[in-house]
Chain A
Amino acid sequence: MSFATRGFSGRRGHADTRLPPGQTKVDKWPVLSAGPTPHVETAEWELTVQDETGTDHRWSWDELHALGVEDVTVDIHCVTHWSKLDMAWRGVSLDKILENIRSEHRYVMAHSYGGYTTNLPLEDLVGGKAWIATEAEGQPLQPEHGGPARLLVPHLYFWKSAKWVRGLTMMPTNDPGFWERYGYHVHGDPRKEQRYR
C-alpha cells in the first residue's frame, strides 16, 4: 500500500518503459561485490561443468571460444535498483556449453573464482537466455566486472550473473547460493520484483 511522500515528484529524466518496477536507468556501470576482486589469467582460466554423475566436463579459454562467440544486446537489472539498458556483450551461449551434458537434474549452482556461488533453475540457462560472457561494450570484461568471464543471465537480477565464473554444478534441488543464503530471493525475476525472501 504505497502512499505519496509530500513534495516528491521525481526527476524522471531516466524513465524508460523497459525498466522493471523499482528500477532506475543508469549510464555508468556500477560495481558491487562482497569481497576483494579475484584476478584470473585467461591462460589459467577454466570452466568446469559437473553433471549429475559427478563427471567434470572442462573447457579452457580457447576451447570455450571455439564453441562460437556471439554478440548480444541486453538490458541488465541490479537488485540495488539500477538498470543499464542496451548493453553490448559478447559471449558463448550456455546452450552450446550444455548441449552434450545429459542431466535429469533441474537446478544448477554456479561457482566463481573467489568462492561466490549462485543457484539457478536449468531452464533459466538454456533457450538463448544465458551466456558465459567475456566482453562488454567492446572491451574484454574487466576484473571488477567479473572478468575474464562471467555468467550473463540478463532476465534475472544481476547477482545471478556470477562474476569470475569457473563452474556449473548440476543439482537435484534448488539449494541457495551465496546471496540467496543471506536473504535474497531464490529466483530473482526483476519483472516480479523478486528481490528478497
Chain B
Amino acid sequence: MQARSHKDSQVRNDFVIRIGGDTAIGGVISTGENFTTAAARLGFQVFTFRSYPAEIKGGHAWFQVRISNRPVLSTGDGVDILVAFDQEAYERHCGELREGSVIIYDSDLVQVDDGRFIRYGVPFQRIARQELNFARGTNVLVLGLMAGLFGLPLDCLQDLVRLRYKRRAELVEKNLEALAYGFDYTKKIRKEDKYYLGTSDHVSRLIMSGNDAIVAGALYAGCRFFAGYPITPASDILESMARELPRLGGICLQAEDEMAAIASCIGASYGGTKAMTATSGPGFSLMIELLGLASMTELPLVLVDAQRSGPSTGMPTKLEQADLFQALYGGHGDFPRIVLAPASVEDCLYRAVHAFNLAEKYQMPVIVLSDQSLSHRTQTIDMPNLSRLPVVNRLQPGDGASEEYARYALSDTGVSPVALPGVHVHTYVAPGLEHDERGHPNQSPQVHEAMTEKRFLKLSSAAADTDSPDWAPRYGHPKAQVGVIGWGASEGAIREAVERATAKGYKVAALHPRILNPLPQAQIREFAASVKRVLVPEVNYQGQFAHHLAASLGISPVRFNKIGGLPFTPAEILGKIEEVASHV
C-alpha cells in the first residue's frame, strides 16, 4: 500500500495533471475528464484545459486538470504530473515539467531520459491487450493507475464507469476490470512523489464548461430561439440548444450559413421571441452586416463569439482574444452594440443573463466575447444565486388601439416601445433604411442625425446602468502602484498573479471589466488614476483592448501581449508585474 501511505507534511494537494497522446489511441481526453469528474464529485475544485487537433482522427491531443481543495482560478503554471501515452506526448510536454515532477508513461513506447523526474513506467497497451484482453481498455487502466497514485477512491470511479457505459452493458464489466487492474497495480509501485489529494470540503459543486454556462444562463433569461451554424469552438452551444429548446417550447435551427443563423434570430426577435446565435471568428465576420440590421431596426439579439485564433481559418482549436476590434467596431456605418466579456465559467452564466437583459432593455445587439479556453474548459462552480438577477423584457406599447404609435419615437433614454406582430394592432415596418419615428423611409439630414443620436442615446443609457463596481470588480492592494486591467477569460491567471505578487510584497491591484462597450468609464478612470502604471495583458498581437482604452479614455497602458494560441499562466503575468513594478 505504498501509494496511499504517503502522509507526510510535504504532501501537495494543489497540482496540475496533463495527459497527452495520439487521438488514435482513443480515450486520451476522456481519461482526464473522468478523473476530473470523480475529483469534483468528491468536493475538490478543478480547472481544466484541453487542446485537440483540428483533424478528426489522429493527431496529438492533450487534456490538463488542476485539482485542489481550495478554489482554483487558473490553469496554473507548468505541469506537475504528465501522463504520456506515447513518445510524442513526452517530447511535447516534458519542457513544462519541473524537478520532482512525475511522469507516468507507457514503458513500451516512451523513452524517458531525464533523471530529474519521478518516473512510473507501466506498459499500458501491453497490459490492456495481454492481461485484460481488452485493447480499448487502455484509458480506463490508466485512470485506475492515476486514482491509486494520487488518492481518488476506487468506488467513485467505478460509479463513473458504470454511468459512462450504461448503454453498453458488455463494456461495463471489461472496463471495471481494467480500472481495478490499474488501481491495484499501483500497490506494486513505490510512490516517491508528494502529490496526493487527501480530503476535500465535500461541498457539492457544479462542474461545467463556459459553453454549458452560457446555455444555462440563456435559457434562464428566456431564450427560446437559437440558430447557429457548426463552428469550433461554439458548436456545443448549438448542440445543447438543439437538445433543450424543443422541450421548453422553443426552436433551435441549424442554419445553412451564418448569415441565415443571425437573420433567423432577428426574425424571431421581431416576433417577440428572445433569440441567440453563437459562432466563432469566421462566422462572426459573416454576421456583421446583419448585426447592423439588428441595431438599425432596434431589435434585441444576443450573439456569442467564442473567439479562436485567426485570421482566416487560423488555428480553429486554439484561443485568441483578437475579435475585440470586430466586436467593438465591425460593420459599416455608425451603430451601437453592447459588448460583454465573461471572466470565468461561473461568470458565463451570469453574463448570459445580463446579455439578454441589456438586449431587451436597450433594444440592440449584445455580443458576448468568450474564447476557446473558456468555451471548453470545465471548472467547479458553486450553485448560482440568481435571486439578484431579474429577467428583463422589452418595453411594449399599451393595449389602446386608438393611441398614436410611433415605433421609433424619440425619448429621454432613446428607448421606445416595440409593437409585436399578432399582438399589437400598431403595425410598423422594421426598416433597414434610415427612417422617421414611424419607421417610414426618410433620408433627410435632420432625420438621420436625430435617429443616429437616438440609437446612440440608448448606449449612453446602458452605460449609466453598467458603470458600477459590479461590472468592473477591483481587487488587490488598496494603494497599489501597479494596476492590471484585463478582460475575458484571463481573469483567473491575473488574479492568481496578483495574489502571488502581493505575497511577495508588491503593491498591485487589478480591475476586470465584464463590459467592454460601453466601457465602465468612471470605474476605469478611477482605477487608472489610483495607480502609477497600468498593465494590460491580452492574448492578441495588436493590443486591441489597450488600444480601446487609449482611444476611449486616453490611458496609455503597458501592453503585454501573448500570441500562440494558449492562455496566460499566472507566472507569465507575475513576471510582467514584477518587471513593471521595478520601473515605477
Partners in one complex: no
Binding site for A on B (CB under 8 A): none
Binding site for B on A (CB under 8 A): none
